[in-house]
């Protein structure tokens, strides 16, 4: 399939997924009702639900999906490990821990404050994982993932301890920690969106050096790539993308694992193409997962993180079996 046609198809699918997100839920609204609510608001129940509850989800879900997918592309290249992702490297857990500490201990409540805190938590975690791996004998792909999983488990344990001692925060953050787009205000997209855009632009700027770094650091350095600077730039990009995503929706699992594989299959190994494809595929994946979360155990809504984890878990097991074969 020609590259332009592939991107066009993904854009159409994303638009259709966003329409589903606005119209499908506990009550199903028609496309005409959705258009009327957005362009001729009349104060009716349907218009209020669509503009106040459904529309923010239809905007935040694609932003989060795109951010986590682009972060996943970079993580897998930096670690040279196709089973690496912001989840398996503990970045989601680090961002979540930072948000919980900032909220429960220091009383940070602003959306921008939590976004910056989450980005800082993801950055510190990424540096910690790679530093421990380098000090333990080199950046082996399996070693990086094992350290990341360990850091993630440690971070989740600390989060549970903090929330156990703060019952009020537990009620507020428990559903968020499972990954969810429920009851998110549009202001959250307005505060987190710029961080996603900034992280994505930085990833695009680093696309050509990342192409060279797919082999090994010596080869990339021989081609004139400033490996250390590229890694620092990628860490910053990944931290912005993961941190903003976690601040908006909580730790939505496995998007950064599944989507990069689909993007490579669709457009190949060049990172400029991968990043665009991953952004669109991640946006589609997260949006459709959010729609599925509303109906899978209807009338109760499931956390979207549980939906993405089901497919992600299957993909991870499949990849591990292939590596072991």
pLDDT of residue 140: 67
pLDDT tier, 9 (very low <50, low <70, confident <90, very high otherwise): very high
Please report which confidence band the pLDDT of residue 273 belongs to, taking 50, 70 and 90 as the band edges: very high
pLDDT confidence of residue 320 = 67
Give percent of the chain above pLDDT 70: 92
pLDDT at 176: 66
Condensed to tens digits (0 to 9), the pLDDT of residues 241-261 reads: 988 898 888 888 889 988 999
pLDDT digits (tens, 9 = 90+) for 47-61: 899 999 999 999 999
CA 101 to centroid of chain Cα atoms: 20
Residue 133: CB atoms within 10 Å: 22
Average pLDDT score over the chain: 86
For 53, the domain range is 3-324
Query: Could you tell me the pTM of the whole model?
Result: 0.89
Share of the chain above pLDDT 90, in %: 35
Q: What is the predicted pLDDT for the residue at 121? A: 87
Give how many domains the chain has, as a whole number: 1
Sequence-separated (6 or more) residues with CB below 8 Å from residue 265: none
| Residue 196: how many other CB atoms lie within 10 Å | 26
* CA 229 to each of CA 74, 207, 233: distance values in angstroms, whole numbers, following the listed order: 14, 13, 6
Q: Is the pLDDT of residue 159 over 70?
A: yes
Phi and psi of 292, rounded to 5°? -65, -35
Residue 20 pLDDT > 90: yes
Residue 95 has pLDDT above 70, yes or no: yes
CATH of the domain at 116: 1.10.3470.10
């Amino acid at each position: 399939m020609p590259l332009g046609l592939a991107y066009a198809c993904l854009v159409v699918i994303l638009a259709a997924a966003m329409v589903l997100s606005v119209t499908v839920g506990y009550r199903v609204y028609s496309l005409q009702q959705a258009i009327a609510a957005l362009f001729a608001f009349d104060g009716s129940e349907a218009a209020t639900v669509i503009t106040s509850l459904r529309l923010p989800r239809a905007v935040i879900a694609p932003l989060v999906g795109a951010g986590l997918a682009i972060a996943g592309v970079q993580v897998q290249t930096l670690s040279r490990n196709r089973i690496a992702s912001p989840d398996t490297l503990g970045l989601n857990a680090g961002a979540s821990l930072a948000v919980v500490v900032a909220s429960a201990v220091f009383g940070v409540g602003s959306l921008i404050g939590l976004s910056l805190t989450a980005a800082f938590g993801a950055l510190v975690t990424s540096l910690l994982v790679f530093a421990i791996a380098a000090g333990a004998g080199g950046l082996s792909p399996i070693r990086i993932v094992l350290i990341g999983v360990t850091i993630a488990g440690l971070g989740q344990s600390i989060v549970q301890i903090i929330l156990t001692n703060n019952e009020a925060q537990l009620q507020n953050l428990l559903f968020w920690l499972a990954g969810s787009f429920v009851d998110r205000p549009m202001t959250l997209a307005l505060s987190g969106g710029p961080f996603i855009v900034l992280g994505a632009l930085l990833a695009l700027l680093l696309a050509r050096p990342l192409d060279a770094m797919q082999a090994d650091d010596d080869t990339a350095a021989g081609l004139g790539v400033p490996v250390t600077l590229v890694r620092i730039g990628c860490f910053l990009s990944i931290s912005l993308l993961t941190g903003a995503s976690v601040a908006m929706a909580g730790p939505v699992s496995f998007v950064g694992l599944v989507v990069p594989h689909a993007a490579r299959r669709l457009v190949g190994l060049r990172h400029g193409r991968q990043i665009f494809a991953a952004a669109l595929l991640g946006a589609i994946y997260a949006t459709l997962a959010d729609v599925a979360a509303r109906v899978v155990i209807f009338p109760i809504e499931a956390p979207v993180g549980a939906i993405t984890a089901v497919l992600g878990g299957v993909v991870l097991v499949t990849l591990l079996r292939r590596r072991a074969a």
